[in-house]
Amino acid sequence: MAKQLQHSHSNGSGWASLHFHKRWLLPLLLMLSISTLIAFFIRSAFDSSCDRSHLSVLEKPGNVKSASPIGNTPSPLAFMKSKLVLLVSHELSLSGGPLLLMELAFLLRSVGTEVCWITIQKTSEADGVIYILEHKMLNRGVQVFSAKGQEAIDTALKADLVVLNTAVAGKWLDTILKENVPRVLPKVLWWIHEMRGHYFKLNYVKHLPLVAGAMIDSHVTAEYWKNRTQERLRIKMPETYVVHLGNSKELMEVAEDGVAKRVLREHVRESLGVRNEDLLFAIINSVSRGKGQDLFLRSFYESLQLIQEKKLQVPTMHAVIVGSDMTAQTKFESELRNFVVLKKIQDRVHFVNKTLTVAPYLAAIDVLVQNSQARGECFGRITIEAMAFQLPVLGTAAGGTTEIVVNGTTGLLHPIGKEGITPLAKNIVKLATHVERRLTMGKRGYKRVKEMFLEHHMAHRIAAVLKEVLHKSKTSSHS
């Protein structure tokens, strides 16, 4: 449901089958590959309760990642120590929403918070993924239990804080908590990542006005929710906090490791049949009309024509679409491939299956294209991930992208829709012909990430929100 948020899903990305000559790279690759998590996180039995006694068993040394603050600075979340937090996830999958909530779970665990997790909807096809993710959580001392049982209700009543993830998670309140809903609402923080019209349904969000707060990934999206809830549903948003996301430490480690980056770059390029000196433009997002791969291909074709017409001296240019899934968006995928055949650019356009491991591709490309249409991305995490790899971003002037990319400085923005095709084509040519400008934009993007979009920045922002919400819920329970 929160899928528009993120590049998504595992399965054969292609690069995993490459063989790596350097043995020391293996740990890095293992770290990057979600499918290998299973090897690390196998724990047979697990408790299904969130009591202190159970948690202390799980907190054996070595079992839980260091509870001490990172470096010498205390974690901004330190005040959450010993608090009980219930995280309510709409689903458990490798899409943006659930993974983000898991990151929050681990941040809280690292300061000694008692964290319980429930998943509302379990899809049977993703059994393997659910198993891996649940064990990853159990290994970090997160308690995982059923969304439907008495335990979920008891924990919700007992908790200091309940975090509902995504708008659709709102269904859980009435279905499970029933008459207890009013007691729980004052300590609910609702984390919203959606901005599609069909989420504005009363049966999802009717309790919004009475929760302690809403947390939204970008200012534009927050504004949109405010307008829509008011105009469409005639309800009022609660106190709303905008929390921009941050890059994980793991991603930053790869992004800042020159050797790893070079090796990943060589291997991905080799697998695509792209030479080191060629220019590579990529969209990394699940393939769908909303993400604008069709329009991007048209721009790319137009840029090739421009270069030919003006006889510009540029390296051979390639486009990569990372995020293909022939089984999901068959019609749209065929449309993309037909276009490529029709324009005879098969040797310049490459399709790569959906993958969770985006780092190798970010290491391999020269420019990220963020072409999300309509209201754009709610935030668009891939944008800050690309900037960490010192890549300039060509993005639509919509949604969260406008809060991340500084037009003319860390990238170039173009309009959404068909009007954006030619401006994007021109921007592609601009970055192809101005090497220095391209590299400078990449460096500035990296600097911006270091200043604003790291995990610790996100932790600080979330900490400020949790503090307020806790304070508010305490006050309301005493009144």
Ligand X SMILES: *[C@@H]1O[C@H](CO)[C@@H](O)[C@H](O)[C@H]1NC(C)=O
Query: d(Cα 220, Cα 378) in Å, to the nearest integer?
Result: 8
State which residue, 49 or 271, has the beta carbon closest to ligand X: 271
Number of chain residues interacting with ligand X (CB under 6 A)? 14
**In three state form, how does the secondary structure of 266-332 look?**
HHHHHHHCCCCCCEEEEEECCCCHHHCHHHHHHHHHHHHHHHHHCCCCCCCEEEEEEEECCCCCHHH
Residue 220 binds ligand X, judged by CB under 6 A: yes
DSSP state of 19: P
The least distance separating ligand X from the CB of residue 219, rounded to whole angstroms, comes to 9
> Tokens representing 9?
């899903």
- Are 166 and 193 in contact by the 8 Å Cβ rule? The answer is yes
Residue 287 as a binder of ligand X (CB under 6 A): the answer is: no
Which H/E stretch holds residue 116?
Answer: strand 114-121
Return the structure tokens found at 183. Answer: 């007691």
Least distance from C-beta 408 to ligand X, angstroms? 4
Query: CB 129 → ligand X: shortest distance, Å?
Result: 17
79 is an interface residue for ligand X by CB under 6 A: no
407 lies in the site for ligand X, by CB under 6 A: yes
| By the rule CB under 6 A, 358 interacts with ligand X | no
Nearest-CB residue to ligand X? 12
Contact 453, 404 (CB under 8 A): yes
Minimum Å distance from CB 468 to ligand X? 24
Give yes or no for residue 12 binding ligand X (CB under 6 A): yes
- Please state, in angstroms and as integers, the Cα–Cα distance from residue 365 to each residue in 317, 359, 375, following that order: 11, 10, 26
The pair of structure tokens assigned to 479 is: 């009144």
Site string for ligand X, 408-427 (x = CB under 6 A): x----x--------------
- Two structure tokens written together for 448: 């911006």
Pull the structure tokens for residue 199.
Answer: 């989420």
Decide whether 14 or 315 has the Cβ nearer to ligand X: 14
Task: Give ∠ CA 435-438-442 in degrees, rounded to 5.
Answer: 140
Confirm or reject binding of residue 227 to ligand X (CB under 6 A). yes
223 binds ligand X (CB under 6 A): yes
| CA distance readout (Å), 118 to 50, 162, 395 | 11, 11, 36
Closest to ligand X by CB, 428 or 459: 428
Query: Does 327 sit near ligand X (CB under 6 A)?
Result: yes
Which region among 34-42, 81-89, 209-217, 319-327 touches ligand X (by CB under 6 A)? 319-327
Q: Which is nearer to ligand X, 270 or 325 (CB)?
A: 325
Contact set with ligand X (CB under 6 A): 12, 14, 220, 223-224, 227, 325-327, 353, 397, 407-408, 413
